[in-house]
Structure 1
């Protein structure tokens, strides 16, 4: 067995163990393991993704940012993890008051994953934060009209869709 294969196997095993700890609620222990892995594999997008998520889960948003940036900076994540990392990065920027970065990140993420309604929802919130509330509200109305299974909302779907086109329109 080559050293590279052995190292890769160890990395995979440690990453799985850290993720398991996080999923079991042992977030601080998982964070310690993941930070060590990220130091050992600084360009590994999967390690960066998991390290960002554990920091976010612990409320350590500022510390999560560089890991999210690494996670989305190169190919290698599954589409689900990439979308989640972009959402995490944009949401974290927003939580830190870095609204322009939140909008830029989430807008690009929505373009990359146009069917992801969670990304669109967070994008709408970020739009509000930069003074583009009308655009954000229109996006949210569209999401509500097209995704709600509530019968009362569904009965107003045509009206909601019209208002989503121009919230200030009168009929």
Structure 2
């Protein structure tokens, strides 16, 4: 398969997914993934379409393949880490979710979505204090609510000491 044909089919699959024809996109992506198993972009798009269709277990190997290879643009890599972590969580694989989302927050520390999903996975693994701390820090850093912004320093301080002894 030549690069122009690959690019055309991949673009068509993405277009179909974006227009709500995920099953048609899936058929194209499965064919592409079979012919080009080391193509990280195809693997990422195949993972995404499986997630869209609620086929989380089928999405996992594609996410793993996309993240194992080289060449995935940073924005897609970030989304793949979030997607895989979230998918692991949905499947009840909480430790895998935590590990993947921690990796994501290490690679993309400014990404609030990764931190929010990590907090959910931490809750599932029983790390409730760290989960609440992450959410409070995210709230303080990103909220535009005037009443939250007014107490941002206090919220940050309490996030570091959830027992409430800092003040």
TM-score (ref. length: structure 1): 0.95
Q: 1:169 offset after TM fit, Å? A: 3.0
Q: Does 1:38 pair with 2:33?
A: yes
| Residue 45 of structure 2: aligned partner | 50
Tell me, in whole angstroms, the C-alpha distance in 1 between the residues paired with 2:102 and 2:28. 32
Aligned length: 166
**1:61 aligned partner:** 56
Q: Does 1:121 align with 2:116?
A: yes
User: Offset at 1:156?
Assistant: 1.5
Unpaired runs of at least 5, structure 2: none
| CA–CA distance in structure 2, aligned partners of residues 62 and 168 of structure 1 | 39
RMSD of Structure 2 on Structure 1 (CA): 0.9
Matched, 1:140 2:104: no
For 1:74 and 1:33, the matched residues in 2 are separated by 21
Q: Provide the rounded CA distance (Å) in 1 between the counterparts of 2:62 and 2:157.
A: 41
What is the CA distance between 1:168 and its match in structure 2?
1.4
Which runs of no fewer than 5 residues in structure 1 stay unpaired?
1-5
The correspondence for 2:149, drawn from 150, 154, 170, is 154
TM-score calculated relative to the size of structure 2: 0.97
Cα distance between partner residues in 1 of 2:29 and 2:4: 15
The 4+ residue runs of structure 1 with deviation greater than 2 A are none
